[in-house]
Amino acid sequence: MLVTSALITGLALGSMYGLLALGFHVTYAVSSTVNFAQGSSMMLGAVFAYTFAVTLGWPLAPAAFLALALCALYGVIVELLAVRPFARRGSSAWLMATVALGIVADNTVLFTFGKEPRGFTLAWAQGSVQLAGINVSWLQIAIPAVGLALAAALHLFSRHTKLGKAMLAVVQNPDAARLMGINVALAVSLAYAASSLFAGAAGIMIAPLFNVHSDMGTLFGLKAFAVAILGGVTSAWGVMLAGLIFGLTESLITALLGSGYTQILSFALVIAALALMPNGLFGRAEVKKV
Amino acid sequence: MAWVLLSFTRFFWEVDMRILLAALAFLLGISNASAQTIKIGLVTALSGQSARAGEAITRGLAIAIDEINAKGGVLGRQLELVRRDDEATPAKGVIAARELLFKEKVAVLFGGLDTPVSLAIVPIMNQEKVPFMGPWAAGTPITRNGADPNFVFRVSAVDEIVNRAMLQYSQKTFNAKNCGMILVNNPWGESNEKGLTAALAAKGMKPAGVEKFDGNDVDVVPQLTRLKAAGADCLFLVGNVGPSAQVVKSLDRMGWKPPIVSHWGPAGGRFTELAGPSAKDVHFIQTYSFFGKQSPVGEKVLKALMAKYPDVKGAGDVTPAVGVANAYDGMMLTAMAIQNAGSIDGPKIREGFYRIGRYEGLIKTYDKPFTPGNHDAVNENDYVWTQFIDNQILPVGMKN
């Protein structure tokens, strides 16, 4: 019972870490930059969805759809304001600029949404089902399912659509892609939109389990970055799998050894894994052609 | 002609000077009056998950200060409340406390909800010899801090005593024999782990297990599963609003419904909204409830709250009541200590606390509430067991 319960908890949390880490992967692959404040995008997804679904009383589907659209727009803004001006000059200041923009977003939400955390209850998520002798809520089943479905959607998009193929071309060689008439700036912008959309989706799904407040994404963002590095930030399925591995490891350590060991051991294992495999579990070393 | 002009000039010069002098005297008067107020500092969470707790403490202090000022103040001077937000963070609490001590020159500083913040401020207060009054944070080492002289006083629960009361309540009400601890992973949780372990040991018992969780943990199911597997027949819960809500939601997901005997953390915010319908299953300790028959002081305070705050329409709107009640009594006792001291000198106010005799307060009638060996005015006889019914904190068993 102990292990089964930990596996279910770990899968739900792990798929959230994976989804956030997938956001790091998408932008890194296309532009070699990431939004370090990915946790803020996650928070915005939850806050927008709460505002539309609870404050304005909309049905969940249009509320979630508009929330995700706004998150994608936020991603475009992040790229436009905090990444492009610096990356264009070859400066690494985008690193700090994305963190700063995240802080601005967190504080704007703090003053507009409110200082108190809010509960985001979904009626359908209250139900549960018995699996292997333990009680599992629908939400715990839905979260990994949606997480993996979104990862699969990214895979299909990049392999089977013209836009996706254009993005892959930018990943392989931005200059050659530009010469072929591909709008590289648009591809990078789209990557940031997708990155924030994934984070927003994670925020909407995690909100009913957790609560909605301005700094809810901070710790998630940090863990997701560790997951992205662990998986090998260049591999899409790698980061998703690393998310699941990290979530499961956390839960199993807590269940088997006790909560006192969770953070120490899970991050020690990340360090050990990276020491043995510097490019991450599923990443490949960058080949420099001279 | 020259004489007339000279007279005119002299007249206007004198008039101007008189006006200037009058204006100067007026301004000096204002500044003097301002200097005459006795500043009372408050460092508490005014934002974040515990914002409501900070607001409750503010209201308790404000009602008491209004009442004291209406009667002429203390030592002939009006009291003035100066607040700072600690954001439930020790580092920010320390910065705020230093600002209130050195810039605002507060005579007494009140603390807030969070034990880690109060524990960080206590050494500064003892070093600067300015009294610190705790109206909420219950960590045992806050008042029992080993300093001599000790400038820290409290009108609130004390973990060590609360822990004994929690064990007693679990046995009496739920016939519990093997309780497990689920504690927030911070100094407050540690303080309660020690207190609960000692309370159990005093009865020759051991906990079913001790599990910790972080304030930002989304899922506490693994920790709770360990306690369930260890045969826990009740849970001792220690955590503020958000973390406590996470425990309740995790229990719901597990479909496990053990009795939950909690410290008073859930009282500080939107617990019912965050924890869902099972919030009512958490029985937690309070020092006061505005429900039921009130003492004359209770009626007076409730009336004052309704007059001052438009959102307070009745007892159910005074939430969390414990913050209001503790802060009100804390401020009244502090005013008496300043009166006894005859000045706003810190060491003299400290001595003044020891000279407080009988006082009919909101929580109880105090009789020599502070002695050099006891800086806690409230004890186990003053606790009330409560639960959330909808959004209101009611004594257990009382219907809304």
- CA separation for the pair B366, B377 (Å, rounded): 8
Distance of CA B339 to the CA centre of its chain: 22
**Site of tokens 């004198």:** B14
CA distances from B318 to B60, B137, B281, B313 (A): 10, 19, 21, 9
Label residue B191 by pLDDT band (50, 70, 90). confident
CB-based contact, A178 to chain B, within 8 Å: no
Answer yes or no: do B222 and A254 touch at CB < 8 A. yes
> What letter would DSSP give residue A80?
I
> Is the sign of the CA dihedral B219, B220, B223, B229 positive or negative?
negative
Chain A CA closest to residue B186:
A260
| Cis peptide preceding B320, ω within 30 of 0 | yes
The burial class, CB within 10 Å (0-12 / 13-18 / 19+), for B206 is exposed
User: How would you list the strands of the sheet with B234-238, edge to edge?
Assistant: B210-213, B179-184, B234-238, B260-262, B282-286, B384-389, B392-395
CA distances from B315 to B293, B302, B391, B395 (A): 11, 7, 12, 12
Res. B67: pLDDT tops 80: yes
- CA separation for the pair B254, A140 (Å, rounded): 11
Of B81 and A261, which is predicted with more confidence? B81
- Can you spell out the DSSP letters for A151-177? HHHHHHHHHHSHHHHHHHHHHH-HHHH
What are the structure tokens assigned to A102, written together?
A: 């995240």
How far is it between the farthest Cα atoms of chain B?
Answer: 110
CA distance A113 to chain B (A): 11
Res. B233: pLDDT tops 80: yes
Res. A86: pLDDT tops 80: yes
Buried b (16+ CB within 10 A) or exposed e, B128-166: eebbbbbbbbbbbbbbbbeeeebbbbbbbbbbbbbbbbb
Torsion of CA A187, A192, A197, A199, to 10 degrees: 150
Q: What does the pLDDT read at residue B31?
A: 45
- CA separation for the pair B339, B334 (Å, rounded): 9
- Which candidate from B49, B222, B225 shows the least CB-CB separation from A116? B49
Average pLDDT over chain A, rounded to an integer: 89
Label residue B27 by pLDDT band (50, 70, 90). very low
Label residue B10 by pLDDT band (50, 70, 90). low
CA distances from B178 to A1, B130, B198, B232, B258 (A): 20, 44, 15, 5, 11
Q: What does the pLDDT read at residue A257?
A: 87
Answer yes or no: do A258 and B216 touch at CB < 8 A. no
B21 Cβ contact list (under 8 Å, min separation 6): none
What number of H helices and E strands is found in chain B? Answer: 13, 14
- CA separation for the pair A255, A61 (Å, rounded): 35
Q: What does the pLDDT read at residue B33?
A: 45
CB-based contact, A258 to chain B, within 8 Å: yes
> Is the sign of the CA dihedral A158, A160, A165, A168 positive or negative?
positive
List beta partners, residue B359: B366
- CA separation for the pair A107, A114 (Å, rounded): 10
Q: Which has the closest alpha carbon to A11: A273, A215, A240, A223?
A: A240
∠ CA B272-B116-B169, nearest 5°, is 50
List beta partners, residue B80: B39
- CA separation for the pair B127, A127 (Å, rounded): 56
Run of H or E residues at B301: helix B296-308
Strands (E), chain B: 38-44, 79-85, 108-110, 132-134, 152-154, 179-184, 210-213, 234-238, 260-262, 282-286, 358-360, 365-367, 384-389, 392-395
Q: What does the pLDDT read at residue A245?
A: 94
Chain B positions in Cβ-Cβ contact with residue A261 (cut-off 8 Å): none
Contact by Cβ (8 Å): A265, A253? yes
What number of H helices and E strands is found in chain A? Answer: 12, 2
Q: What does the pLDDT read at residue B2?
A: 47
Domain ranges of chain A: 2-115+130-276
Q: What does the pLDDT read at residue B30?
A: 45
CB-based contact, B51 to chain A, within 8 Å: yes
% residues pLDDT > 90 (chain B):
72
Pick the residue of A3, A9, A222, A263 with the most B CBs within 10 A to test the interface with B by mutation: A9
Interface predicted TM-score of the whole assembly (ipTM), two decimals: 0.83
Domains of chain B: 37-157+293-378 (3.40.50.2300), 160-286 (3.40.50.2300)
Domain A2-115+130-276: state its class.
mainly alpha
Q: Which has the closest alpha carbon to B391: B331, B285, B305, B314?
A: B314
Most confident region among B33-42, B214-223, B246-255 by mean pLDDT: B246-255
Answer yes or no: do A258 and B211 touch at CB < 8 A. yes
Reduced to 3 states (helix: H, G, I; strand: E, B; else coil), residue B238 is: strand
CB-based contact, A211 to chain B, within 8 Å: yes
Answer yes or no: do B212 and A259 touch at CB < 8 A. yes
> What letter would DSSP give residue A118?
B
Answer yes or no: do B218 and A134 touch at CB < 8 A. no
Of B289 and B182, which is predicted with more confidence? B182
Label residue B25 by pLDDT band (50, 70, 90). very low
Q: What does the pLDDT read at residue A170?
A: 84
Q: What mean pLDDT comes out for the span A246-264?
A: 89
Q: Which of A239-253, B27-41, B89-103, B352-366 has the lowest mean pLDDT?
A: B27-41
The burial class, CB within 10 Å (0-12 / 13-18 / 19+), for B178 is middle
- Which candidate from B47, B185, B276 shows the least CB-CB separation from A121? B276
Contact by Cβ (8 Å): A157, A166? no
CB-based contact, B253 to chain A, within 8 Å: yes
Q: What mean pLDDT comes out for the span A196-205?
A: 95
- CA separation for the pair B252, B156 (Å, rounded): 31
Average pLDDT over chain B, rounded to an integer: 89
CA distances from B309 to A109, B39, B137 (A): 27, 22, 25
Hey, what amino acid is at B207? P
CA distance B92 to chain A (A): 17
Answer yes or no: do A117 and B246 touch at CB < 8 A. no
Chain A positions in Cβ-Cβ contact with residue B245 (cut-off 8 Å): 119, 211
Q: Across the A/B interface, how many CB contacts are shorter than 8 Å?
A: 94
User: How would you list the strands of the sheet with B108-110, edge to edge?
Assistant: B79-85, B38-44, B108-110, B132-134, B152-154
Contact by Cβ (8 Å): B329, B155? yes
- CA separation for the pair A116, B271 (Å, rounded): 11
Contact by Cβ (8 Å): B333, B145? no
Residues 215 through 254 of chain A touching chain B, CB cutoff 8 Å:
216, 218-219, 251-252, 254
SS3 content of chain A, % helix, strand, coil (to 5): 75, 5, 20
Q: Which has the closest alpha carbon to B194: B178, B179, B207?
A: B207
Q: What does the pLDDT read at residue A230?
A: 92
- Which candidate from B216, B222, B246 shows the least CB-CB separation from A5? B222
pLDDT tens-digit map of B272-293: 889 988 999 999 999 998 888 8
What are the structure tokens assigned to A247, written together?
A: 């979530």
Give the per-residue SS3 of B154-205.
ECCCCHHHHHHHHHHHHHHHHCCCCEEEEEECCHHHHHHHHHHHHHHHHCCC
